[in-house]
Structure 1
């Protein structure tokens, strides 16, 4: 899977050369047809030129998302190369899990306390008090956004990875320094393996 993501990343190099933090004023609705089919499965690749997270894949561990995290603890039916696999449904972003397993859905907390923190809940686990679960969309460039805004990655996460936050207008969410805005590019996975991702 990583090889497939890297190949896609190579093809996108020219288009992403001027990658900057997505505008917070853009529309959450797709501006045109997306390359990801309805109910299609995809990985999320970070695009931020000349940075440690450029072309980094997204993994899920301990109820949160990370870039460049070498270990995930996910139990999968095959090898996804350590990358998490997602799908969209009714504005919600879900992890692709095994049949019969509890759903694992992404949430975002943009409140003053949450500052844009992201995570995922499993089954009846619930979400934080100010957590939002709908508003995810993929545009015609296959870029993922949440209610029209992009994402930040902050260093210092477990295993040397970068934690993923929604851009809530705070440059150092959670007090983290060195955070970078990035474009979250959805990369279609034609034959992904379902997983059960670890919980906090």
Structure 2
């Protein structure tokens, strides 16, 4: 089940390995729901949540959510449709799985999962999104280069992530770093480490909005 308090004793030990490690004085924001971690090792196919690590910034410990075929930090409501009616459809984080082939999915136990893609072309500038069912990806979209390192930090073909403020409902839009510091006309974007945190049990199995 999910708890209201993330075990930062577990997370902090893993976060120390990150180049964006939290400072000793940083306090974590309170969340309505957060993934409860177990061990730090995440095997292929295991569900996990993602926390942003960017010390002394508004996005430090922000949770990664999904909605409208895009990815966000601190999205107040994803409005996802979840399998288990006892779970809130307003959960403010998304659940992911990573295949052995480097394909990243939004976790769904009872249906074909939605799949992440990246567009690093001049048009996409690092666009990170997901498709549903037979929906095609952009012409320059890529799927199969996601990986987790020894610290469980997620990357795409070796590249990290950016978050840009002033997106929907006050959230931050998430992009892959394609060498553009402020993609798609955004400003004040911040790089961050995307720390995967394995969910102990009963992960949210959901379909996210298109």
**Shared fold (TM-score greater than 0.5)?**
yes
Partner of 2:122: 112
Q: Once the two structures are superposed, what CA deviation does each residue of 1:39-95 show, in whole Å capped at 9, x if it has no partner?
A: 111001000000000000011000011001101011122248421000011210000
Q: Once the two structures are superposed, what CA deviation does each residue of 1:108-140 show, in whole Å capped at 9, x if it has no partner?
A: 000000000110000101101111011000010
Q: In structure 2, do the counterparts of structure 1 residues 6 and 164 end up closer, same or farther at CA, with 3 Å as the change threshold?
A: farther
Q: Once the two structures are superposed, what CA deviation does each residue of 1:94-115 show, in whole Å capped at 9, x if it has no partner?
A: 000141x232000000000000
Matches within 5 A, 1:5-84: 5=6, 7=8, 8-12=10-14, 14-16=16-18, 18-19=19-20, 35-76=41-82, 77=84, 78-79=87-88, 81-84=91-94
Partner of 1:197: 208
Q: Kindly indicate whether residue 173 of structure 2 is the aligned counterpart of residue 163 of structure 1.
A: yes
| Structure in which a larger fraction of residues adopt helix | 1
Work out the CA distance in 1 between the residues paired with 2:50 and 2:93.
Answer: 8
Q: In structure 2, do the counterparts of structure 1 residues 91 and 12 end up closer, same or farther at CA, with 3 Å as the change threshold?
A: closer
RMSD: 1.9
Unaligned runs of 5+ in 1: 21-33
Work out the CA distance in 2 between the residues paired with 1:38 and 1:123.
Answer: 21
Partner of 1:29: none
Work out the CA distance in 1 between the residues paired with 2:179 and 2:120.
Answer: 9
How many pairs align? 184
Per the normalisation by structure 2, the TM-score is 0.81
CA contact (8 A) 2:103 2:115 kept: yes
Unaligned runs of 5+ in 2: 22-39
CA contact (8 A) 1:2 1:83 kept: no
Work out the CA distance in 1 between the residues paired with 2:17 and 2:209.
Answer: 34
Partner of 1:123: 133
Q: Which of 1 and 2 has higher RCO (CA within 8 Å, sep 6+)?
A: 1
Work out the CA distance in 2 between the residues paired with 1:92 and 1:4.
Answer: 30
Per the normalisation by structure 1, the TM-score is 0.85
The Cα of 1:11 is off from its aligned counterpart by: 4.6
Give SS of 2:20's match: coil
